[in-house]
Amino acid sequence: MQELEKFKLALSKARSAVYSWDTQTGEITWSGRLEDVFPTGTLPNLSTTKSFTDSILPEDRQKFTTSLETSIRAGGDYRRLYRIKTQDGHLTTIRDRGTVRREDGHTICIGTITSNERPEIVKTQPLSHISQQRQYFMHAQYESLLFRARTAEAFDNAKLHHRNSVLMKISIDNLSMLMTWYTPDFADRIMDALKIHLSSILREGDTICRIAIDQFGIILNNHSQTEAELVIDRILRRIQLYSNPSFEEPIHLRCSIGTVHFPIHAENAEDALNKAYLALSSAKSKAAEFYVDYQDAKKEHLDSREEVGQLNYLQSAFRQGKIHMAYQPLVDTRTGGIYSYECLLRMEDEDGAIRSAGNLIPVAEKMGVIDVIDGYVLERIIEELANHPDATLGFNISNMTTDDPKWLKTCTQLLQDPNIASRLIVEITETAAQHDMRQTAYFVAALQSLGVKVALDDFGAGYTSFRQLKSLSVDIVKIDGAYVRGIAENSENLIFIKALLDFNHSYGVETVAECVETGEEAKLLMNLGVDYLQGYYFGHPSTIRPWEQDDQSKQVNQNRIEKVIT
């Protein structure tokens, strides 16, 4: 590296530039890069005495000029400290060191300027803005203390008069973003205006304080639960729809609200403040909910503890091999024979009792382990089908599995034998279809191409339309149990089932009625044209493999079948 290059590199790293300043002509020449001294903003014009002096912050200019004049007169070395403003308002503190030389009758200053610190953004505010910011901060601190005092007062009052009051914490979630986009000052104007706007819906005696840069605290004194709900709702709407014609640009505010009712749900004022904070944190963590009350936040917390317990239970059942399948028959209304069995997941308790895993499925989905379950069940069912060539089996998969390529791949690998695939029914739920129609349709087609039948479970529980049903092209539709229960007395359910059967018949889709519990229900459904019946009336799910039993000990109630079918 050349000497000069080294020199330039060192200058750059030191965020410095070297000048030679002819004080007679006013001309300043530079070595090194001014960009290193002023890394942000448009460079100030530092090429003449006039433009240099003009770039210095007015407050520092007089001191600078006096120091320069003294140096020119007295000669020798000098050190100066002043602030330079770039053309777009960025402020840089400059350390200036140099010496005065006389050459050919000219007085030349030779020196370096160095940026003394990281640049500070001033933008459009005058210097007094800094102290204004501090004022806001101090004011917020003051309001926060005031709010505490008011909460204590309100708490005592509510307790004394046996009234319900509400403590709210509201956070404007995008305020920091607005501060960056605009200026901190603008964000403050929003908060001030919003506070006035919100005050107008409060009753006399209620309190609103700005308790943090981006937060309000509100006390609704003596409000019943219903009254409070109404006010909270209005506050939420006001913030979400907030607009102010005096602002240069339209803004959109996002907020979260946490509430706690007192004295019923808080022991004292401090406790109420903490609980409102917890509720607010919970509201902030939710994508679709803006408002959370402490009671719900608490329940959620307990729920998640319980869920962790359930997950541990599920994992240990897996480890200890205490996972079983229960089989429930589907009766064919045309033949009276058994068409297939639905396989349902069961867990064995410490004491050997068998219980449903139905409530663990949503937990497993939430905790991200559903792929383990659905993968396990798939392998187990295929093994069952391979060992028992007479069995036709259906089983359930989670909504989440319908877009799990790994599961589909395993399925493809395991189902090379068409004799096994043709005896398999995969049940997906209606919510999977609503989740992503295109993906679900692809998934259904992929399974069908392997020779597997696909059933749409719980139909009627969600909002899948017949048109969507058509585009899914499933083989079987299972009517949700809610439509089957008490069908004889419910004409609306009857109309729905008839419409579905019409549709299914014209598109060659087979229909199952689930949760058939009585002979009357069974008879009615059969007469309507339902193809298969499933429910406690014919047989409960059982962990004993039916096809390994002799006819008499099979779980299916043959007498009942005969009574209905013949």
The label of the residue with tokens 């867990």 reads 347
Rounded to a whole number of angstroms, the minimum distance from the CB of residue 496 to ligand C2E is 17
Residue 73, CB half-sphere, CA atoms under 13 Å: how many? 6
Rounded to a whole number of angstroms, the minimum distance from the CB of residue 523 to ligand C2E is 15
Given candidates 168, 344, 450, 477, which one binds ligand C2E under the rule CB under 6 A? 344
Q: Interface residues for ligand C2E in 233-272 (CB under 6 A)?
A: none
Long-range contacts of 208-211 (CB under 8 A, 24+ apart): 209/143, 209/144, 209/146, 209/147, 209/150, 210/139, 210/140, 210/143, 211/140, 211/143, 211/144, 211/147, 211/169
**Token digits for 171?**
């956070």
Rule CB under 6 A: is residue 328 a binding residue for ligand C2E?
yes
Chain-centroid distance of CA 559 in Å reads 54
C-beta of residue 96 within 8 angstroms of C-beta of residue 79: yes
Q: Which CB, 195 or 545, lies closer to ligand C2E? A: 545
Residues 463-502: x where in contact with Ca ion by CB under 5 A, - otherwise, as a string? ----------------------------------------
Rule CB under 6 A: is residue 377 a binding residue for ligand C2E?
yes
Residue closest to 11 by CA, chosen among 92, 114, 105, 87: 114
Helices (H), 251-293: 269-284
Q: Which CB, 187 or 373, lies closer to ligand C2E? A: 373
Angstrom distances, CA of residue 341 to CA of 2, 55, 324, 441: 85, 86, 15, 25
Reduced to 3 states (helix: H, G, I; strand: E, B; else coil), residue 339 is strand
Q: Which CB, 220 or 345, lies closer to Ca ion? A: 345
Given candidates 58, 89, 205, 358, which one binds ligand C2E under the rule CB under 6 A? 358
Given candidates 62, 199, 285, 356, which one binds ligand C2E under the rule CB under 6 A? 356
Residue closest to 506 by CA, chosen among 469, 539, 535, 543: 469
Reduced to 3 states (helix: H, G, I; strand: E, B; else coil), residue 454 is strand
How far apart are alpha carbons 1 and 157 in whole angstroms?
80
How far apart are alpha carbons 392 and 532 in whole angstroms?
13
Instruction: List the single partner that 345 binds among Ca ion, ligand C2E, none, CB under 5 to 8 Å by kind.
Output: ligand C2E
Rounded to a whole number of angstroms, the minimum distance from the CB of residue 357 to ligand C2E is 6
CB atoms within 10 A of CB 503: 16
CA angle 352, 354, 355 (to 5 degrees): 135
Our CA dihedral for 62, 68, 72, 77, rounded to 10 degrees, sits at: 140
Beta strands in 196-313, from DSSP E residues, in sequence order = 207-212, 215-220, 255-262, 291-293
Q: Give backbone dihedrals phi and psi of 136, rounded to 5 degrees, phi first.
A: -60, -45
Instruction: List the single partner that 25 binds among Ca ion, ligand C2E, none, CB under 5 to 8 Å by kind.
Output: none
Given candidates 37, 257, 361, 382, which one binds ligand C2E under the rule CB under 6 A? 361
Rule CB under 6 A: is residue 399 a binding residue for ligand C2E?
no
Q: Which CB, 232 or 330, lies closer to ligand C2E? A: 330
Residue closest to 453 by CA, chosen among 308, 337, 342: 342
**Token digits for 322?**
């205490």
The label of the residue with tokens 């909002």 reads 463
Rounded to a whole number of angstroms, the minimum distance from the CB of residue 176 to Ca ion is 47
Rounded to a whole number of angstroms, the minimum distance from the CB of residue 527 to ligand C2E is 19
Rule CB under 6 A: is residue 398 a binding residue for ligand C2E?
yes
**β-strand pairing of 106-115 with 90-103:** antiparallel
Given candidates 395, 459, 483, 532, which one binds ligand C2E under the rule CB under 6 A? 395
CA angle 47, 50, 51 (to 5 degrees): 50
Instruction: List the single partner that 474 binds among Ca ion, ligand C2E, none, CB under 5 to 8 Å by kind.
Output: none
Rounded to a whole number of angstroms, the minimum distance from the CB of residue 273 to ligand C2E is 42
Given candidates 151, 328, 396, 511, which one binds Ca ion under the rule CB under 5 A? 396
Residues 476-495: x where in contact with ligand C2E by CB under 6 A, - otherwise, as a string? -----x--------------
Instruction: List the single partner that 517 binds among Ca ion, ligand C2E, none, CB under 5 to 8 Å by kind.
Output: ligand C2E
**Token digits for 114?**
């160095």
How far apart are alpha carbons 180 and 187 in whole angstroms?
9
Rule CB under 6 A: is residue 371 a binding residue for ligand C2E?
no
Rounded to a whole number of angstroms, the minimum distance from the CB of residue 323 to ligand C2E is 9
Binding piece for ligand C2E, criterion CB under 6 A, among 97-105, 129-137, 175-183, 351-359? 351-359
Residue whose CB is nearest to ligand C2E in the complex, by number = 358
List % helix, strand, coil for the chain (3-state, nearest 5).
45, 25, 30
How many of the chain's residues bind Ca ion (CB under 5 A)? 5
Q: Which CB, 228 or 361, lies closer to ligand C2E? A: 361
What's the one-letter identity of residue 448? Q
Rule CB under 5 A: is residue 457 a binding residue for Ca ion?
yes
Given candidates 384, 458, 510, 531, which one binds ligand C2E under the rule CB under 6 A? 458
C-beta of residue 310 within 8 angstroms of C-beta of residue 363: yes
Rounded to a whole number of angstroms, the minimum distance from the CB of residue 346 to ligand C2E is 7
How far apart are alpha carbons 177 and 80 in whole angstroms?
38
Residues 494-523: x where in contact with ligand C2E by CB under 6 A, - otherwise, as a string? ---------------------xxx------
Rounded to a whole number of angstroms, the minimum distance from the CB of residue 518 to ligand C2E is 9
Q: Which CB, 345 or 420, lies closer to ligand C2E? A: 345
Instruction: List the single partner that 206 binds among Ca ion, ligand C2E, none, CB under 5 to 8 Å by kind.
Output: none
Contacts of 286 (CB under 8 A, 6+ apart): 256, 292
Binding piece for Ca ion, criterion CB under 5 A, among 100-108, 327-335, 382-390, 425-433? 425-433
Angstrom distances, CA of residue 67 to CA of 27, 61, 79, 214, 355: 18, 10, 9, 45, 90
Instruction: List the single partner that 271 binds among ligand C2E, Ca ion, none, CB under 5 to 8 Å by kind.
Output: none
Which residues are at the interface with Ca ion (CB under 5 A)? Answer: 396, 427, 457-458, 514
Which residues are at the interface with ligand C2E (CB under 6 A)? Answer: 328, 344-345, 356-358, 361, 373-374, 377, 395-398, 427, 457-458, 481, 515-517, 535-536, 541
